[in-house]
Amino acid sequence: MEIFVDGLFVPVHDGSAPYRGFLAVENGIITATGPGSPRIPADATVVDLAGKLVLPGFVSAHSHLWQSVFRGLADGCSTYGWIDQLHLKYGPLLTESDMYEFTVHGGRDLLRHGITTVCNHTHSFGAGEEGQWRAALDLPQRTVYSHSPSRFDSAAERRAGIERFQKATADVDDPRILGRSYNTTWPLDEPDMRAEIELLTEYGIGKHLHYLEDPGVTEHQQAEFAQLLRTGSVGPDTVFAHFIHTTPEIVAQAGERGAAMAWNPLSNGRLGSGIPDILGYRAAGVRVGLGVDGQASADVADPFQNMRTGLYLLRAAAKDATVLSSREILRMHTLGSAEVLGVQDRVGSLEPGKFADFLVLDPERPSAGPVSPDLYAHTVLALSAANITDVRVAGRSVSTGPFEPTAPGAVHERVAALRALL
């Protein structure tokens, strides 16, 4: 057993308040937490967190880890221009080992920024997804793994891909693999889409759709929503990634069916995609979580920067600083994102029975000045990933690798070789 003592805890679950206290961990699970000093068993290891803040590990509800090595690409492009520069140019060149190494690079980067659970939305480029799946099994953080077929696959090829995905992943007994989802992309005829949804339901695989992101396809994609409803594509296990250019009817129907959305403020701003009506979605019952998206469109996978960007955009758009609080958006990037992915029973907050996935931050390294009495505001508005001193998954520190500088070579050489082929 490990007991972390004298930390200043910033809880996110409803009904909680900040406290100075302790966290007890046994076999990777939180067994107790609360204010004050605990009884220390003789065989316990005690970790002193005096002067440190403790947060639950961040959850990214939507990411593409393999994109981590392509930052700064296609500046000034919107979504489809950016896709032309990354997916269409580099995608066909990528080998399985490329995708493995790039995904590991991206996963380590997210860990360094405090993201202990990620929905990794994969892509079927080059040699396919095996390298990305192997990376999920080698990385320390937890993954909701999202399989994505090629847009050029036939209906039969897509069904075969789901069967392979099921065979490869269904029986994996690993606490790091929290769930599976599938990108139900277009075009598919309605009977084929219905058959695909029935197959996913049979296998317990959720749905994760890129939808209504780029303003240039708004009218076309809005018109497809009726087909999504008819085929059973919208339900409690549906996550809409981006989901910006909606209509009141689409939002109402999504809320009625229990769907969720992954909000990606950094990439939405970088690509000029727009600002979703988060307040309206929440009012309609749509669950909202945050994702840092791929590092080739969000560039810096810092959840603090992601939260501030989203918070400031909503306040500016409303011309009202009260529309969303720091506490609300912190919850949205932790427990809220876990709820979107359907894994809130295991991650997202520091509560007994959940995995001991948490962050330790030092507000004095670098110094953010005296800690504000409003601890949520100080955490969200004044701190960043630079203040993280330790990242724990199942109570174990995973900071050693991700916090070390990346050695030249490896992914650098691979990217240079790819660029030489263009």
Confidence label for 184 from pLDDT (cuts 50, 70 and 90): confident
Task: Please give the mean pLDDT across all residues of the chain.
Answer: 95
Name which residue leads in pLDDT, 241 or 187: 241
d(CA 315, CA 343): 29
d(CA 35, CA 337): 26
Query: Is it the case that residue 125 has pLDDT exceeding 80?
Result: no
Query: Is it the case that residue 321 has pLDDT exceeding 70?
Result: yes
**How crowded is residue 244: how many other Cβ atoms within 10 Å of its Cβ?**
20
Structural domains in the chain, sorted by start: 2-56+349-403 (2.30.40.10), 58-341 (3.20.20.140)
Q: What is the pLDDT of residue 408?
A: 58
Quote the crossing angle between the two packed helices 190-203 and 218-230, to the nearest 10°.
Answer: 60
d(CA 312, CA 318): 10
Contact 301, 295 (CB under 8 A): yes
Query: Is it the case that residue 393 has pLDDT exceeding 80?
Result: yes
User: In this prediction, what percent of the chain has a pLDDT beyond 90?
Assistant: 90
Strand order in 238-242's β-sheet?
58-63, 115-121, 142-147, 177-182, 206-211, 238-242, 260-263, 287-290
Give the pLDDT mean for 396-416: 81
Query: Is it the case that residue 85 has pLDDT exceeding 90?
Result: yes
Q: What is the pLDDT of residue 327?
A: 98
Name the residue with tokens 């508005």.
Answer: 381
Cα-based distances in Å from 383 to 286, 369, 378: 29, 10, 7
d(CA 177, CA 137): 8
Query: Is it the case that residue 223 has pLDDT exceeding 70?
Result: yes
Listed in sequence order, the residues at least 6 apart from 27 whose beta carbon sits closer than 8 Å to its beta carbon are none
- Predicted TM-score (pTM) of the model is 0.96
Q: What is the pLDDT of residue 11?
A: 97
Q: What is the pLDDT of residue 405?
A: 67
Give the pLDDT mean for 364-380: 95
Listed in sequence order, the residues at least 6 apart from 267 whose beta carbon sits closer than 8 Å to its beta carbon are 273, 292, 293, 294, 297, 298
Tokens representing 45? 């290891």
d(CA 282, CA 336): 11
Q: What is the pLDDT of residue 348?
A: 98
Query: Is it the case that residue 407 has pLDDT exceeding 90?
Result: no
**How crowded is residue 144: how many other Cβ atoms within 10 Å of its Cβ?**
30
Query: Is it the case that residue 33 has pLDDT exceeding 80?
Result: yes
Give the pLDDT mean for 25-37: 97
Give the pLDDT mean for 261-289: 98
Cis bond before residue 187 (omega within 30° of 0): yes
Q: What is the pLDDT of residue 412?
A: 93
Q: What is the pLDDT of residue 406?
A: 63
**Four-CA torsion 398, 404, 408, 409, nearest 10 degrees:** -10
